[in-house]
Amino acid sequence: MLRTFRIGGIHPPENKLSAGKKITALAAPKQVIIPLSQHIGAPAQAVVKKGDPVKVGTLVAKAGGFVSANIHSSVSGKVNKIDHALDSSGYKRPAIYIDVEGDEWEETIDRSDALVKDCTLSSKEIVDKIAAAGIVGLGGATFPTQVKLMPPPGSKAEIIIINAVECEPYLTSDHSLMMEKGEQILVGVTLLMKAVNVNKAVIGIENNKPDAIAHLTKLAAAYPGIEIMPLKVQYPQGGEKQLIDAVIRRQVKSGALPISAGAVVQNVGTAYAVYEAVQKNKPLFERVVTVTGKAVANPSNFLVRMGTPINMLIEAAGGIPENTGKIIGGGPMMGKALVSAEVPVTKGSSGVLLLTKEESVRKPMQDCIRCAKCVNVCPMGLNPAFLMKFTVYKDWEKAEAGYIQDCIECGSCSYTCPANRPLLDQIRLGKGKVMGIIRARKS
């Protein structure tokens, strides 16, 4: 029997319209806009100025703290300015504007397709190369990878778990990467194993990707310690705590990190980026992005340089359909509506979803009927109806007592609510307020 996590979960329509589509490299634009905050933690600090020449892979911003990440140029050309630019949430953030001139790469980057399996580097040297390359979690959370690979004192990793479930509807960037870069991903997993000194890794893949399961299972026979584990299709299995529960049957306590269960979880795209960083000296300046939607002419998986405007991806997929109601950054469950199609691709851009006007319209909210459907599907075992009520009435003490800070913002509650209540919207607001109170109390 296929495994899955044991608390809550839903199965929305998968709509994997771009499944089976080959990864297509998108040409660089005339100008890129590279935000200095493409990760959880402190923004990076610019190390270039107006007029500076850069190449593909040149360091343009250094990590601004322990939890931060380096940022590199995705193009060659000249720095036009350092200014502010709209991000996906609609706020103006510091960014580096680079005018593109040619396509000259840093000489240290190995651009050959030859697979490099052997690595003589120590654990620390591997982590240092990952940090230098600016690798972050590519599943959407964008947590700096090197931090995850340095467990706090008293903690020890027992297993690497690779998140290849891609449970979010519509998105297929990870699926396409597994089919085309399977061997490189497995080398990346061995590097992650060496980085944290473990001899076991499990790649969890949902059972709706039988081709990826078969492909990686065949390749993994040559990589000791790596197991491919098919999982039952269940959203949100891509959540760290849910994946740990599914794979090793351990629960992560409230407020605790995955390392407390002996696990280090990394996205499959991150494993590939680690291979490129360590074995090819290639920083993270491009990634695979799915562009999709029921009205999109050509749903696709594109290899895109960071800083490329989203509208270029949409044009390459056939343009914006006339009946488009919303453009979502990410998938339909955890993604957020973009304020503009001109915002740039960042390290956390896994997909672009174009919803039709019919799909975009919210149904009128009704009174809660206490059906408890939201409670039954919550993968964290919370009571979303009560947490929304506490937020509306600004009862932050009860919201904290109800563990609102544990919400993973998966949207299962809103999806299943028969009264069309904006549960996730309100819980997000309340969670932000409560976490601010907790931080203030600790300081």
Residue type, 384: P
Both tokens of 327, joined, read 């453009």
β-bridge mates for residue 351, sequence order:
290
Query: What is the 8-class DSSP label of residue 170?
Result: T
HSE-CB for 361 with a 13 A CA cutoff: 5
Q: Tell me the residue type at 417.
A: C
Contact indicator for 306, 54 with CB cutoff of 8 Å? no
Neighbours of 190 (CB within 10 A): 20
Choose among 284, 212, 211, 201: nearest CA to 243.
Answer: 201
CA-to-CA distance for 345 and 286, rounded, in angstroms?
9
What is the spatial distance between Cα 168 and Cα 11, in angstroms, rounded to a whole number? 10
Give the N- to C-terminal CA distance of the chain in Å, as an integer. Answer: 47
Q: How far apart are the C-alpha atoms of 371 and 383, rounded to whole Å?
A: 12
Structural tokens at position 146: 């090197």
Per-residue confidence in pLDDT tens, the chain, 443 aa: 899 999 999 999 999 999 999 999 999 999 999 999 999 999 999 999 999 999 999 999 999 999 999 999 999 999 999 999 998 888 899 999 999 999 999 999 999 999 999 999 999 999 999 999 999 999 988 999 999 999 988 899 999 999 999 999 999 999 999 999 999 999 999 999 999 999 999 999 999 999 999 999 999 999 999 999 999 999 999 999 999 999 999 999 998 999 999 999 999 999 999 999 999 999 999 999 999 999 999 999 999 999 999 999 999 999 999 999 999 999 999 999 999 999 999 999 999 999 999 999 999 999 999 999 999 999 999 999 999 999 999 999 999 999 999 999 999 999 999 999 999 999 999 999 999 999 999 98
| CA 263, 264, 267, 272 torsion-angle sign | negative
For residue 123, give every residue at least 6 positions away whose Cβ sits within 8 Å of its Cβ, in sequence order, or none. Answer: 194, 195, 196, 197
Distance CA 227, CA 162 (A): 10
